[in-house]
C-alpha cells in the first residue's frame, strides 16, 4: 500500500508548551490506522495540524502526493480529506435528511443565478443529492430517523450522522476524532460495522484517534502511539498493548491499555 497521507517534522507550541514536537505519521491507502496516547500526548493538536485547523510552525503535510501544509480545511476537503470532531457539529434544527443533503460542496442551487437561469439543472442536482442521501442513510442505519431533528438524536446517533455526512462528499480519507465518545454499547456495534463496511466495500481510508482500546483493537491496523507530543512506536495492536514503553506512557504503567 502507498501512503495516502504523510507528515514529517510537525511541530506546534502554545505559550511555550510543545504540544507536538517533530512528529511524523503515515497513513497507508486502504488502511484503518489508529492513533492513541495518554491524555496530553498531543493527539488532538496533531489532528488539527493534519486537517488544517491550525498550521504547523515547522514540518510538512502531504496528501495524495500534494503538499497541503498551508491549505485551508475546506480546500483539503475538496481534495478528498474529511474529518469529524469529538463533539458532533450537526445542524440541530434540520432533520437527518436535511443535514445530509446540505453536506455536498459547491451544489449548483447554492448560488442565486442558476436558480433562475438553469432551474432544470438545479432540480437534477437536487434529485441526485436526495438519492445519495437515501443511500447513505441506509448504510448508516439512519433511515428510520430521516425526519427526526438532529438536536433530538442521542449521542451515538449524532456520531453516526457525523460519519454519514462525510459520505455525502467525494472523499478518500476520513479522519475520525473520538468516534466512540458518548456512544452506548448498542450503537457502538453499528458504528464499528459501518467503518468496516466503508473500508472494505467502499475503499475509504481512515485515521482514528480514540481512547477506547476495545474499539482500536477491533478496527485498527496499524496503531500509532504518541507521548509528550511526539512519536513513540507503531505496530499491530497486540504488540502495542504489551509494549513496556506504551504501558509506561499510560500513567507510569498503572493502567491497562
Q: What is the mean pLDDT of residues 37-60?
A: 94
Shared domain for 201 and 237, answered yes or no, is yes
Shared domain for 86 and 197, answered yes or no, is yes
pLDDT at 105: 60
Shared domain for 86 and 97, answered yes or no, is no
pLDDT in tens, 160-196: 888 888 888 878 999 998 888 777 777 888 888 889 9
Query: What total of structural domains would you count in the chain?
Result: 2
Query: Is 160 domain-assigned?
Result: no
- Using CB atoms within 10 A of its CB, is residue 138 exposed (0-12), middle (13-18) or buried (19+)? exposed
The residue among 128, 152, 176 that closes a domain is: 152
Query: Is 137 domain-assigned?
Result: yes
Shared domain for 129 and 62, answered yes or no, is no
pLDDT at 160: 86
- Residue 218: name the closest of 204, 237, 199, 202 by CA: 237
Question: In this prediction, what percent of the chain has a pLDDT beyond 90?
Answer: 49
Query: Is 180 domain-assigned?
Result: yes
Query: Is 241 domain-assigned?
Result: yes
Shared domain for 204 and 102, answered yes or no, is no
CATH number at residue 199: 3.40.50.300
Query: Is 157 domain-assigned?
Result: no
Shared domain for 75 and 134, answered yes or no, is no
Which runs of consecutive H residues, i.e. helices, occur in the chain?
Answer: 43-51, 73-78, 96-102, 112-117, 119-139, 155-167, 185-200, 213-219, 237-241, 244-249
Shared domain for 46 and 117, answered yes or no, is no
Shared domain for 84 and 19, answered yes or no, is yes
Shared domain for 139 and 62, answered yes or no, is no
Shared domain for 122 and 176, answered yes or no, is no
- Give the whole-angstrom CA distance, residue 59 versus residue 64: 17
Query: Is 176 domain-assigned?
Result: yes
Query: Is 158 domain-assigned?
Result: no
pLDDT in tens, 226-256: 999 999 999 999 999 899 999 998 856 434 3
pLDDT at 207: 97
Question: In this prediction, what percent of the chain has a pLDDT beyond 70?
Answer: 88
Q: 138 is in which domain, residue-wise?
A: 92-152
Cell of 230: 511526539
Query: Is 179 domain-assigned?
Result: yes
pTM (predicted TM-score) = 0.83
Amino acid at each position: 500500500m502507498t501512503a495516502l497521507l504523510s507528515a514529517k517534522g510537525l511541530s506546534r507550541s502554545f505559550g511555550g508548551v510543545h504540544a507536538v514536537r517533530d512528529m511524523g505519521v503515515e497513513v497507508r491507502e486502504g488502511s484503518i490506522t489508529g492513533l492513541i496516547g495518554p491524555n496530553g500526548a498531543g493527539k488532538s493538536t496533531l489532528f488539527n495540524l493534519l486537517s488544517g485547523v491550525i498550521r504547523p510552525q515547522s514540518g510538512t503535510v502531504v496528501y495524495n502526493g500534494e503538499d497541503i501544509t498551508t491549505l485551508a480545511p475546506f480546500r483539503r476537503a475538496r481534495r478528498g480529506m474529511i474529518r469529524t470532531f469529538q463533539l458532533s457539529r450537526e445542524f440541530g434544527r434540520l432533520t437527518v435528511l436535511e443535514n445530509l443533503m446540505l453536506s455536498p460542496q459547491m451544489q449548483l442551487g447554492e448560488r442565486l443565478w442558476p436558480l433562475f437561469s438553469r432551474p432544470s439543472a438545479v432540480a437534477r442536482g437536487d434529485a441526485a443529492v436526495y438519492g445519495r442521501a437515501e443511500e447513505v442513510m441506509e448504510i448508516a442505519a439512519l433511515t428510520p430517523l430521516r425526519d427526526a431533528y438532529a438536536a433530538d438524536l442521542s449521542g451515538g446517533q449524532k456520531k453516526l450522522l457525523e460519519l454519514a455526512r462525510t459520505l455525502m462528499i467525494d472523499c478518500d480519507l476520513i479522519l475520525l476524532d473520538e468516534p466512540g465518545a458518548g456512544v452506548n454499547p448498542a450503537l457502538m456495534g453499528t458504528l464499528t460495522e459501518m467503518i468496516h463496511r466503508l473500508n472494505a466495500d467502499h475503499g475509504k481510508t481512515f485515521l482514528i484517534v480514540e481512547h477506547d482500546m476495545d474499539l482500536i483493537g477491533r478496527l485498527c491496523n496499524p496503531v500509532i502511539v504518541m507521548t509528550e507530543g511526539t512519536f513513540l512506536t507503531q505496530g499491530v495492536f497486540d504488540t502495542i498493548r504489551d509494549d513496556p514503553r506504551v504501558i509506561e506512557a499510560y500513567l507510569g504503567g498503572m493502567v491497562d491499555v
